Structure 1
């Protein structure tokens, strides 16, 4: 079998996958946003986008400098050591896995608009979707990318048009958005910390860049483009529905946008939104699944996990890594409580906060320890960008800890117990089988052949 990922992804496809990772089942999630902070969730999203932009520029520099699957794990390993990289890699895997129930239960909830389902039935359907997608991601990526590219850009247009139909409807009034801050400063503060979740997805780009076929100087377009698309869709959605119905109505709705469309007598629009939303979630599922499997692939190249996990099938897909993603996705889906939105938000933002914090630290350190490495893109005002990003990460982590419930702590406890066992296994193998488990950290000085050699089982 081959051991090199194929370079088949265009810039447009990278943007579609990254933005698709951010734009998910907002018509289901938006009720949680309004529970947090009402219409001011729009301001929280805008603030998060602005605050996260320095981190995007940091990611751009690091991705262009070290364009390997595994991304943040490899960056941290280069800046610090193999052990720190392993920990970051395990958080990365958690980040992408935790998105799976968000997407699949979101799709199931949208389908329940057409045919009512209880929560157990929602999870069964979600597990079926995960199983179906396990088959899809093991086929040639260029075909999956083309399908996702078409679906994402078409649903982006439809979602914007749907929001504009709401805004220009006679029942829409600006005064309905009041009060903007129903939960006061506390709600705004929580929203600012937890709505960072909706911009998690730009970090898919480092996982996919090894399979891209465009100049690394254009990577900045992938990061900025995906962020702008995300804010456009979410921002218009918030204004569109909040101008028609009350904050309390939104917070209690099962699925918001289609219900609003029915309320104003446009049932065909409700059906279009449900179909479009399901398709959007499929693009999200693709992006996070690919990122999760590439995270494992990169860890296998570094010999943090068995090299078998870097094995690639005849379609160029890491099939063993995909199998691990499949099993773990089923676990997080089955573990999801009925308050699944809060469960997913806190796990995902917490994992992202840890990863982004270590990326910022690694960025600052590599600037000092390896100034000679070629950087196709250089982040301006590096020290300021790094410090600003670290402070925001710490703030988000605090908000996550405050918001976590018992179900979340249990799921995380089991996950990190398994991680501790895998880490100890890797350290044991390093001592007893150093030939096959000697740490390898890809850097700009390595050739493709060297990386390929270290991924062979």
Structure 2
């Protein structure tokens, strides 16, 4: 049976009270909301909107709503667990408490995929809008050799490396500085997207929304899977559990507020874009939002403003997702499942400096040289699998730990967690068999890594003074 780590033990080991491992509690509710918006709103809407429209047409609004419903069900579960277990491990720690060490390691393994590909993909998207901004400002762009990887017709994607390096510098300096930067960038990108909506709706024509769903229900389903990528990152709020001033109260509120803001914003942007120039003109077009504004205003100035907003927005996503990745690795390192270098915290900056530098270097390489289109579906299916596990963990912990203090409880339990699992499985199915094969291979590699390193170095087994095989036979307790 699985090695289970109790929520009380997770909180006790969280590091806030251990010299040399403590993270400073500096983030209030407003900073958490800004952090959440910063983690979510970026490449998905500025770059990925055109892909969703190409699948669903103007019905992309329905796709965004369906993707949001999937996320909202799971957001309730994240809110309950984030308030009950306020540690930096997020879904990895929730799985450890609810389903055991093996599942937790695979969740952490999938989080490396979710956050790692997100960092690299977002950085590549940032490069597109940097060129768009340069073209608007000075009529010049970076040569393809320096703004795209070999798979996209270039040599090295230099802007992608630069934005990852900037995020790394901010994170190393301290959480307070990172939170301030994220809040400022969140305000800028929200203002830019609201301005885009105003411009788009000024040219809105009903005829541009017909046919509303040119590819039918199948297109809406495919568009939902593509739109889901736009919501990836809301779970990063729970990685701030050890740096929030009042995590049990603020984390659930921040998650739900962020989901509401982002869903309304995405639907408004999608409706404004397709209503202004039509789904055919938006679908599959790079830097689509800038193109829409240029078409509506007849000038490149507005498109340049949108490009500036995209540059800011996408940079904030890189910052937030890198933050989440380092905190996940820190939690796994404390448990002995990955090398100890990731748990070391600088006493001067109260940040995991070495872990942050390693994450930046590792994920700058694919951003610089690889075309990531082929693995976006793999990232999506891995993220959906994590979300399904979190919903199951809520049910498991309700049974195992009925007396656990919960500042937020999932409404209509267990219906909503079960619906969350069902929606996740549906979207996983929509990714296609190629993504499933990639995901299966990825999990096999993860199990091999766990067997070779994590299982042998597990501190939970060592603390219990049992062999790994004996630990596996401990009762589940449900």
| Normalised TM-score (structure 2) | 0.83
State the partner residue of 2:157: 123
Cross-structure match for 1:354: 385
Is 1:20 aligned to 2:38, yes or no? yes
- 1:394 is paired with a residue of what secondary structure? helix
Look up the match of 1:315.
349
Deviation at 1:214, TM superposition (A): 2.8
1:280-327 residue CA offsets vs partner (Å, 9 max, x unmatched)? 111111111000000000111222122231001121111222133123
Q: What's the CA shift string for 1:377-399, capped at 9, x where partnerless? A: 12222110121011111112112
- Match for residue 213 of structure 1 among 245, 254, 262: 245
Name the CA shift for 1:388/1:412 in 2 (closer, same or farther; >3 Å).
closer
Question: Which residue is 1:247 aligned to?
Answer: 279
Secondary structure at the aligned position of 2:432 is classed as helix
Distance (Å, rounded) in 2 between the aligned partners of 1:424 and 1:394: 30
Of 71-80 and 189-198, the range deviating more from structure 2: 189-198
The partner residue of 2:301 within 268, 271, 278 is: 268
- Which of 221-230 and 203-212 deviates more? 221-230
CA distance in 1, matches of 2:466, 2:339: 11
Matched, 1:291 2:324: yes
2:184 paired with 1:150: yes
Partner of 2:454: 426
Distance 1:278-1:162 versus aligned 2 partners, 3 A rule: same
367 and 5 in structure 1: CA distance in 2 versus 1, 3 angstrom threshold: same
Cross-structure match for 1:449:
none
Quote the Cα distance in structure 1 between the aligned partners of 2:89 and 2:22: 13
For residues 198 and 280 of structure 2, the distance between their equivalents in structure 1, rounded to whole angstroms, comes to 22
User: 112, 129, 134: which one pairs with 2:168?
Assistant: 134
1:103 aligns with 2:122: yes
Q: Could you list the runs of 5+ residues in structure 1 that have no partner in the other structure?
A: 440-457
- Offset of 1:117 from its aligned partner? 4.2
Equivalent residues in 2 for 1:178-197 (5 A)? 178-197=210-229
- Please name the residue that 2:404 is paired with: 373
State the superposition RMSD in angstroms: 2.6
Q: CA deviation at 1:108?
A: 0.4
Return the offset for 1:335: 6.1
Query: Which deviations, in whole Å up to 9, do the C-alpha atoms of 1:423-456 show, x marking residues without a partner?
Result: 412333459x9479999xxxxxxxxxxxxxxxxx
Aligned to 2:107: 88
Query: CA 1:201–1:68 in 2, change beyond 3 Å: closer, same or farther?
Result: same
How far 1:334 sits from its partner (Å)? 4.6
Structure 1 197/414 Cα, relative in aligned 2: closer, same or farther at 3 Å?
closer
| CA–CA separation in structure 1 for the residues paired with 2:429 and 2:283 | 24
Partner SS, residue 382 of structure 1 = coil
Q: Please give the alpha-carbon distance, in whole angstroms, between the structure 1 residues aligned to 2:465 and 2:121.
A: 35
Contact 1:193 1:395 in 2 (8 A): no
> Match of 1:243, SS?
helix
1:281 aligns to what? 314
Kept in 1: contact 2:47–2:288 (CA 8 A)? yes
Distance 2:434 2:272 in 1: 28
Which of 336, 354, 359 pairs up with 1:303? Answer: 336
- Structure 2 segments unaligned to the other structure (5+ residues): 1-18, 136-140, 468-478
In the TM superposition, residue 252 of structure 1 has moved relative to its aligned partner by 4.0
Q: Does 2:67 align with 1:48?
A: yes
| TM-score computed with the length of structure 1 as normaliser | 0.87
Please state how far the C-alpha of 1:137 moved relative to its aligned partner.
Answer: 1.5
Does 2:206 match 1:174?
Answer: yes
Tell me how far apart the structure 1 counterparts of residues 165 and 440 of structure 2 sit (CA, whole Å).
23
Stretch deviating more after TM superposition (107-116 or 382-391): 107-116
Q: Conserved in 1, the CA contact under 8 Å of 2:344 and 2:352?
A: yes
Q: Secondary structure at the match of 2:47?
A: helix
2:262 is aligned with 1:202 = no
Q: Which whole-Å deviations, capped at 9, do the CAs of 1:167-216 have from their partners, x for residues lacking one?
A: 113xx312112111121121111122342222222201111121101352
